[in-house]
């Protein structure tokens, strides 16, 4: 017999896990819509060259590519939905003056070449195009916090970096081309000594080199921004710091439900983001549950220069955090329904009639056709989260155990007609 294993990183979600993920995704979409974001759906794969336009180099490497059988062209499973939303915004909404607010939910597949594995993730996210001012950043960050609160993660740590700042600093350093990625890597690793070594080859102003050497340490509460703003070495760096300060000020005024953390050494997403960089962290999840930022040049790659900012929530990381916070207990019931579920045992037609009546009331109801008896029936009901067992007259089973049953004598009502 064929071994039934799944490819690395692919998995099934059994009822409790699936219900938790579904509840998270639906709650997120409901919040997004309440904030005026309109849902769109994009395809699972696209021509690689179209998708790659909107991907950073890391995401391009993470895309699973194959030759489309019908055309012989290379397509890629989407490793990220944002570039698709950007493409849609720049093409189908070309004539929309904006603001454009779109949201989405879907599956992405990411390849990790080193681990020789891939992961299938569920993403739910938003994009706001056409608001270049801090108002746009603030709305997106506030929505991120509201969305996490709605799924049960009320006080995330909101980590704010600024890729425009990183861009300005690295540009003004005038490093040799080969030293640039090294400098970025050492800033990202907070490797002060290693960074100092790379910075020796910088030909830019002394003040910029000094500023850059501080970046790994400029992480902490928003007050650290004051330190950085004391002596900005170039006008571009000053503008980036002012932009970040304006966003933080507006967030503090607005009263966003989360703890702000500023990290000026944030350089991830360098080839994609242009301004604010956003990560949401919560207890119980080692990875950010939310990631995004401002990408003012992304839509131009699809033909319409239009500033945009957005984020995606990692539904799997979110479910993991909720489960960790609940000590591994499922955060939601495996099966949904209004009121307690009812399992009905007895003659099929009568049991079905009662089940239909309960369903019409919004209740969850099922008929036991399995012929389970006594304790086995009750155990089945517990396993599948039916809080009540009804044994109809004429049923084969023994009288009910009082804890689970409301009695063996319930009769279906006269059937109400439903058209």
**181-220 binders of a second copy (CB under 8 A):** none
User: Which residue among 80, 263, 368, 388 contacts a second copy (CB under 8 A)?
Assistant: 368
Distance (Å, whole) CA 270 – CA 282: 24
Distance (Å, whole) CA 293 – CA 57: 17
Least distance between a second copy and beta carbon 185 (Å): 25
Give whole-number Cα distances, 319 to 25, 293, 302, in Å: 10, 22, 33
Q: What angle do CA 406, 412, 413 make, to 5 degrees?
A: 115
Residue 30 or 259 having the CB closest to a second copy: 30
Footprint of a second copy on 242-271 (CB under 8 A): 250, 253-255, 257
Least distance between a second copy and beta carbon 40 (Å): 5
Footprint of a second copy on 272-291 (CB under 8 A): none
User: Which residue among 239, 264, 372, 405 contacts a second copy (CB under 8 A)?
Assistant: 372
Footprint of a second copy on 302-341 (CB under 8 A): 302-303, 334-337, 341
3-state secondary structure of 407: coil
Residue 97 or 286 having the CB closest to a second copy: 97
Listing DSSP states for 377-403 in one string gives HHHHHHHTT--EEEE-TT-SSPPPPTT
Give whole-number Cα distances, 4 to 1, 11, 92, 109, 412, in Å: 9, 12, 43, 21, 44
User: Which residue among 28, 55, 88, 147 contacts a second copy (CB under 8 A)?
Assistant: 88
User: Which residue among 35, 222, 261, 284 contacts a second copy (CB under 8 A)?
Assistant: 35
Q: Interface with a second copy includes 366 (CB under 8 A)? A: yes
Residue 158 forms beta bridges with which residues? Answer: 260, 280
Least distance between a second copy and beta carbon 367 (Å): 7
Site string for a second copy, 41-70 (x = CB under 8 A): xxxxxxx-xx--x----------xxxxxxx
| Token representation of residue 37 | 């974001």
Least distance between a second copy and beta carbon 87 (Å): 6
Least distance between a second copy and beta carbon 125 (Å): 14
CB atoms inside a 10 Å sphere around CB 30: 11
Burial 108-135 (b: 16+ CB within 10 A, else e): bbbbeeeeeebbebbbbbbbbbbbeebe
Residue 77 forms beta bridges with which residues? Answer: 45
Q: Interface with a second copy includes 239 (CB under 8 A)? A: no
Residue 42 or 201 having the CB closest to a second copy: 42
Footprint of a second copy on 107-146 (CB under 8 A): 107, 109, 111-113, 115-118, 120, 130-131, 133, 135-136, 138-139, 142, 146
Q: Are 120 and 11 in contact (CB under 8 A)?
A: yes
CB atoms inside a 10 Å sphere around CB 90: 22
Least distance between a second copy and beta carbon 220 (Å): 24
User: Which residue among 190, 239, 359, 406 contacts a second copy (CB under 8 A)?
Assistant: 359
Q: Are 199 and 298 in contact (CB under 8 A)?
A: no
Q: Which residue has the tokens 């790379």?
A: 198
Q: Give the total of residues touching a second copy (CB under 8 A).
A: 121
Least distance between a second copy and beta carbon 309 (Å): 11
Site string for a second copy, 154-173 (x = CB under 8 A): x-------------------
Q: Which residue has the tokens 């609160």?
A: 149
Footprint of a second copy on 398-417 (CB under 8 A): 415
Residue 215 or 244 having the CB closest to a second copy: 244
Residue 135 or 191 having the CB closest to a second copy: 135
Residue 255 or 328 having the CB closest to a second copy: 255
Distance (Å, whole) CA 333 – CA 16: 6
Distance (Å, whole) CA 45 – CA 78: 6
Q: Interface with a second copy includes 382 (CB under 8 A)? A: no
3-state secondary structure of 163: helix
């Amino acid at each position: 017999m064929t071994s039934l294993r799944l490819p690395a990183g692919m998995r099934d979600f059994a009822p409790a896990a699936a219900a938790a993920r579904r509840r998270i995704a639906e709650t997120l979409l409901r919040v997004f819509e309440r904030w005026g974001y309109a849902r769109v759906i994009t395809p699972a794969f696209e021509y690689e060259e179209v998708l790659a336009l909107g991907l950073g180099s890391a995401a391009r490497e993470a895309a699973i590519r194959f030759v489309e059988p019908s055309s012989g062209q290379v397509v890629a499973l989407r490793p990220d939905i944002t570039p698709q939303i950007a493409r849609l915004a720049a093409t189908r909404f070309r004539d929309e003056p904006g603001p454009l607010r779109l949201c989405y939910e879907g599956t992405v597949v990411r390849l990790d070449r080193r681990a020789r594995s891939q992961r299938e993730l569920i993403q739910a996210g938003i994009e706001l195009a056409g608001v270049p001012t801090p108002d746009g950043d603030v709305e997106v960050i506030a929505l991120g916090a509201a969305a996490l609160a709605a799924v049960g993660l009320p006080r995330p740590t909101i980590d704010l970096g600024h890729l425009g700042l990183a861009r300005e600093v690295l540009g003004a350093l005038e490093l040799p081309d080969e030293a640039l990625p090294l400098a970025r890597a050492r800033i990202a690793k907070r490797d002060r000594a290693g960074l100092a070594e790379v910075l020796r080859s910088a030909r830019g102003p002394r003040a910029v080199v000094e500023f850059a050497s501080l970046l790994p340490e400029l992480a902490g509460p928003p007050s650290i921004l004051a330190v950085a703003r004391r002596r900005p070495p170039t006008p571009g760096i000053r503008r980036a710091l002012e932009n970040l300060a304006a966003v933080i000020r507006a967030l503090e005024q607005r009263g966003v439900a989360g703890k702000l953390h500023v990290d000026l050494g944030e350089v991830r997403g360098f080839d994609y983001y242009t301004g604010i960089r956003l990560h949401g962290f919560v207890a119980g999840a080692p990875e950010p549950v939310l990631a995004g930022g401002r990408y003012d040049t992304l839509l131009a790659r699809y033909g319409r220069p239009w500033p945009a900012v957005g984020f995606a929530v990692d539904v799997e990381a979110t479910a993991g955090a909720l489960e960790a916070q609940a000590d591994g207990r499922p955060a939601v019931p495996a099966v949904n329904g209004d009121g307690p579920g009812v399992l009905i045992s007895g003659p099929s037609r009568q049991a079905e009639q009662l089940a239909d009546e309960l369903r019409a009331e919004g209740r969850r109801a099922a008929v036991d056709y399995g012929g389970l008896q006594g304790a086995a029936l009750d155990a089945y009901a517990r396993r599948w989260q039916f809080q009540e067992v009804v044994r109809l007259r004429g049923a084969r089973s023994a009288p009910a155990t009082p804890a689970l049953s409301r009695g063996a004598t319930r009769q279906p009502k006269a059937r109400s007609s439903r058209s």
